[in-house]
Amino acid sequence: MNELPYTSIPDTSDSNYWESKSIKNNLRSTTFVPRDKELHQRLRVKAWGIIQAALSKKNRKGKS
């Protein structure tokens, strides 16, 4: 699989990033899982840092 240079987590319509999983006997439920879990984790950490930086110091959560 050719990795595209993602800078943020893309919408679930991006089939290069996401893989859909359906649960048997439940036609209405579809779960999207990232194809590259390490890339997804890096993007999640980056997004969390951006969110925390935008908050005031007293409203930040997690590691300081």
User: pTM for this structure?
Assistant: 0.70
Report the run of H or E that residue 54 belongs to, with start and end: helix 37-54
Q: Name the nearest CA neighbour of 39 among 1, 12, 2, 3.
A: 3
How does pLDDT run across 44-59, given as a tens digit for each residue? 999 999 998 988 877 7
Write the CB contacts of 40 (distance below 8 Å, at least 6 apart in sequence). 9, 34
How does pLDDT run across 3-19, given as a tens digit for each residue? 558 999 999 999 999 99
